[in-house]
Structure 1
């Protein structure tokens, strides 16, 4: 079932602006993208639409776009498959010349259309659609409605619009950023030798992922990392997402171990100078939520990661304790953390029926499902998503928009035989392909020994692993 224009979200806010001086820009959530120069106004439009199609493909859904150019303004729906729908379009008022002869008809702006004559308009027509290859015809700009020319008279001369524009309508500042030269590969080498080279497609993709994870969003955001099977890579996923988002965005980030039993997040991260856990934070919640409390007081309860720049809120590690965190206590802890942090990444236990697990889902903005390339872990991930989908409402929406992160099996890597490595990669791809039709994004992560044991550090990972986790974090942050 297709998506109607009214169902397409206006987020992120996207604008495409083409100017009569031969420049254009695409603004995505306030960030300007460079539009390659063209030999004509229509070529500029085509180049701008190509960037917007790329954004729709990144988000894997249609996007809503406001368009502006000297010939008019309106709104489009741009799909990942290059289909473009016109929601509205209003041509700019035609300028009238005071010196025009009395018999000269009023000027109608020429339509930029194909040479094939367009069919006569019909009442209540559906929105026009086009592919990116045919954007010169419809819908940007649509052919103007046929109007009966009116003779130019003295009355029109008296009502002629002023020829001078307001200074508010112009600026001497250049809004389009300059494309930075290549820094990677042979292109980067040539640039460093003095021959400026444009970046490759791979480098541009990496830059886009960096831009995505570097954004600041209004209000706090909560990410839940879930899988009902142990050993599915939940804790490494929490650490890596927290590290990348904190490093690039600079936003205050906390990783919270919301395990119903002793969680492993505290074992895989740095320990601070104290032993406090989530239970201590809950006990001190009244003080921490007081308007008079200094922001630095939160450091008494979390463990700072000195290299990766995020904090960790540990679960209770008292071996003799039997306290189970309730739903109300999850509410309290979440209220405290979202006062001090802009991003909360939650680790979870293996029981989807537990009160703290279910209340975590209530607070979640983005669901992440990690899985190792082993069939029982993949099946547990599927059942986790199925459980959430069956609950309907907010839970089902999280499941449909989840990001699945597939990591290659460590067991196959230990054998180090060529055939075993190929089987591990093939199995990871099979599982990734199996999840792809049911979730928003699937990202594969290569095996890396730095993720197997001990404290996890971003800088300890191999470059290929760092790049894969950057892509995973960008997929998670894309809808914030």
Structure 2
């Protein structure tokens, strides 16, 4: 019997734990339950990959006992790999002496299959000069290097890689998320800017942060100004030009403010005007949304505090995902909970949005995580996911820049963005 290799997986073993790296380069932490050998856990995980792909998988393990390779076919059968870069495997007849050292048998923790019979020399084959590019952070070459030097990704690295792969996706059609909480000063602007930055930096731009606010929206104050001092009120009369078949893609640059390092654009409101001078009706919002969908693949709405405003309600109706920020304090948390209750009573779609919402609890002061955990625990089970952002002085005031954050804060925002991507 011969088996062709189509996929290769890796496992870095450290005592009773391991990091399993899938064919796509995503690292997964594994641990052995009490009384079970971690090597058997690894083999079971590799067998699951083989069954799912309906093809053979080569498992490369490395750790204290060195590097070892076995082949697992789609039916769960286990074979000994013949060479570091095998192409085909042949099962030998019974009774043939294997010749594998006892130390290797013990390291694998598996019964060895009989040694393969020598294969006839294969005719030379030409390697293609055109191959699919692997743009993941951990490339095929990187995984091969890890196999050689005996290192695997840490738990944090594996989680970071998985999050980056999620937020770098491109969906067919524009996706929208509304950042909402009826109370002011709870982190809506901060959340909007950070989500836009994460998606734009990893997905290649075409991301808009839209200050959908009648009453002194501050997104423009905390982000860079572009070449033109323009707001949403300037965009409205130009909408027909921007939607014309002959419009150029660069035409939108006159009305938005590009963030040079974080790569997203900001559509500002005018914080110097009263709400009565910059209200946007339902039809005007729809026109602006048509422009946004024409020029951007992702739109994040920084909402105002008036949940009865037409532009606020239309924003919710136009969103795929709700993100509800709150601070680790009773008042903003209660405001978020009341908003969820109101949305569930509004209509069926709003109820679905509330049930699948993401609540983001930010530590606004360096008082430790206890208060944030209490608030987070109050929302668990009522929404799809609850995530926490640690205290970071760079979020308190001043320009919002992703690179100014601590690494732990950056990782926390990546987790939030990955949860949003899962809802798209």
CA contact (8 A) 1:35 1:47 kept: no
SS class of match (1:180): helix
CA contact (8 A) 2:216 2:269 kept: yes
Distance in 2 (CA, whole Å) between partners of 1:49 and 1:374 is 47
Segments of 5+ residues of structure 1 without an aligned counterpart are 1-18, 37-41, 53-65, 72-90, 92-172, 184-190, 414-420
Counterpart residue number, 1:94: none
SS class of match (2:386): strand
1:405 aligned to which of 357, 360, 368? 360
Counterpart residue number, 1:263: 217
Counterpart residue number, 2:415: 471
Counterpart residue number, 1:346: 301
SS class of match (1:478): helix
Count of matched residue positions in the alignment of Structure 1 and Structure 2: 321
SS class of match (2:252): helix
The structure with higher relative contact order (CA 8 Å, sep 6+) is 2
1:69 aligned to which of 23, 36, 54? 54
- RMSD, aligned α-carbons: 3.2
Counterpart residue number, 1:238: 192
CA contact (8 A) 1:25 1:35 kept: no
TM (normalized to structure 1)?
Answer: 0.61
1:361 aligned to which of 316, 322, 332? 316
Counterparts in 2 of 1:285 and 1:404: CA distance versus 1, 3 Å = same
TM (normalized to structure 2)?
Answer: 0.69
Q: Cα offset for 1:178?
A: 3.2
CA contact (8 A) 2:205 2:263 kept: no
Q: Cα offset for 1:267?
A: 0.5
Q: Does 1:393 align with 2:348?
A: yes
Counterparts in 2 of 1:70 and 1:200: CA distance versus 1, 3 Å = closer
For 1:25-36, what aligned pairs fall within 5 Å after superposition?
Answer: 32=24
Counterpart residue number, 1:218: 172
For 1:120-135, what aligned pairs fall within 5 Å after superposition?
Answer: none
Counterparts in 2 of 1:271 and 1:196: CA distance versus 1, 3 Å = same
| Cα displacement string for residues 314-337 of structure 1 (whole angstroms, at most 9, x for unaligned residues) | 013343662311111111111001
Counterpart residue number, 1:450: 394
Q: Cα offset for 1:284?
A: 0.6
Distance in 2 (CA, whole Å) between partners of 1:332 and 1:175 is 39
Distance in 2 (CA, whole Å) between partners of 1:241 and 1:174 is 30
Distance in 2 (CA, whole Å) between partners of 1:435 and 1:304 is 35
Q: Does 1:290 align with 2:244?
A: yes
CA contact (8 A) 1:255 1:310 kept: yes
Distance in 1 (CA, whole Å) between partners of 2:53 and 2:151 is 31
Q: Does 1:429 align with 2:414?
A: no
CA contact (8 A) 1:24 1:48 kept: no
Distance in 1 (CA, whole Å) between partners of 2:24 and 2:270 is 46
Distance in 1 (CA, whole Å) between partners of 2:176 and 2:407 is 28
CA contact (8 A) 1:182 1:198 kept: no
SS class of match (1:394): helix
Distance in 2 (CA, whole Å) between partners of 1:264 and 1:435 is 27
Segments of 5+ residues of structure 2 without an aligned counterpart are 10-22, 29-39, 57-74, 76-130
Q: Cα offset for 1:376?
A: 0.4
Counterparts in 2 of 1:334 and 1:25: CA distance versus 1, 3 Å = farther
Q: Does 1:198 align with 2:152?
A: yes
Counterpart residue number, 2:228: 274
CA contact (8 A) 1:256 1:312 kept: yes
Q: Cα offset for 1:215?
A: 1.1
SS class of match (1:438): coil
2:253 aligned to which of 290, 293, 299? 299
2:140 aligned to which of 170, 175, 178? 178
CA contact (8 A) 1:374 1:409 kept: no
